[in-house]
Structure 1
């Protein structure tokens, strides 16, 4: 998987509490300021996260050779298959517990967030979310496996930021129409968080195997 092939992973990075947070922020009284704080946190967290994961992947590669990227049996590919198994287990767990799965309670506190808190949330939804850590590790492994530099990760980072900015861009482009729709989208994603989680896992599995 080269730099361009990992771009779709950026969409998966923001599906879940991440995009729900972005939608909540554009429904607050200080939507623009708060959303910009959130995007600053997303930018810093994604950039730092990918750099850290590339460093870990490089260190692992020094201990265990990842092998040829064209070899489906190489260590690099085996690591990805393990990640697929973990994601499949997570999707199954969400399906089994779909009746009791609820969105994180901290999402309910975001309506009163200021830009500083939004910045912290932007950091948190990237750096402490297991799904995003897995995605960034996958990106790191792929780049090291392909002997690519950090520069190859910049399109992935940029697209992640763009996806995070979509709710704000939609609000700014469509004005009052978007203001009326965003709360409905926010409420739906809150009540269907289990489905969102499953979609994240399935899409990510497809992207890795592709």
Structure 2
């Protein structure tokens, strides 16, 4: 188990990812649709970790990544570059906050069936720049520690568990959740720019603190 990467699971699902999960618990046949979404997320995160581990391994063979304790190591420099990219993304979201709108595809999810939900679960991880940056950070971290895929399993499980929170809350607090979830969904849609900035800031804090 590699505990330092566990907090990065939070950033994997913050943003359109968790908004999608909330939308799916407000649709007809919510349980089936949500479970399909979770399967897509689990597959995408697992494949993403494997791919980024391979990328980090290839980088490690080409250039010595060094240890995490060495702030000037190539591995840490890669992390700092990724931090810089997310800082620029946060700045872009801040500057565009007045005209920011949620992705149009989020509005189509209310009519999604299980197959569509599975596809969304895959793509909402595989195509999100922030998630790709997190996965590459995980890969570099594990390569620096000479850890294998097994060390990333808790990270994968926690990411899927966070994705499952809306469904779990709906199951535990059915009536209250059915009332609250649409309001939460609408608020997050309207403040997507703020959520994106929060994701970037959280990632930066975690990486710079040694996550």
TM-score, normalised relative to structure 1: 0.98
Question: For residues 109 and 142 of structure 1, what CA distance do their matches in structure 2 show?
Answer: 37
Question: For residues 147 and 102 of structure 1, what CA distance do their matches in structure 2 show?
Answer: 42
Deviations 1:83-136 (A, max 9, x none): 111111110110011011111100011011111100000000000000000000
Question: For residues 39 and 67 of structure 2, what CA distance do their matches in structure 1 show?
Answer: 37
- Aligned residue pairs total 209
RMSD, aligned α-carbons:
0.7
Which residue is equivalent to 1:45? 44
Structure 1 unaligned segments of length 5 or more: list them. Answer: none
Which residue is equivalent to 2:61? 62
Aligned pair 1:208/2:210, yes or no?
no
Q: Which runs of 4+ in 1 moved over 3 A?
A: none
Question: For residues 86 and 79 of structure 1, what CA distance do their matches in structure 2 show?
Answer: 11
Instruction: Measure how far apart 1:27 and its partner are.
Output: 0.1
Aligned pair 1:86/2:58, yes or no?
no
Instruction: Measure how far apart 1:160 and its partner are.
Output: 0.1
Which residue is equivalent to 1:17? 16
Structure 2 unaligned segments of length 5 or more: list them. Answer: none
TM-score, normalised relative to structure 2: 0.98
Question: For residues 105 and 178 of structure 2, what CA distance do their matches in structure 1 show?
Answer: 22
Deviations 1:122-170 (A, max 9, x none): 0000000000000000000000011011100000000000000000000
Instruction: Measure how far apart 1:68 and its partner are.
Output: 2.2
Question: For residues 58 and 25 of structure 1, what CA distance do their matches in structure 2 show?
Answer: 37
Question: For residues 48 and 127 of structure 2, what CA distance do their matches in structure 1 show?
Answer: 10
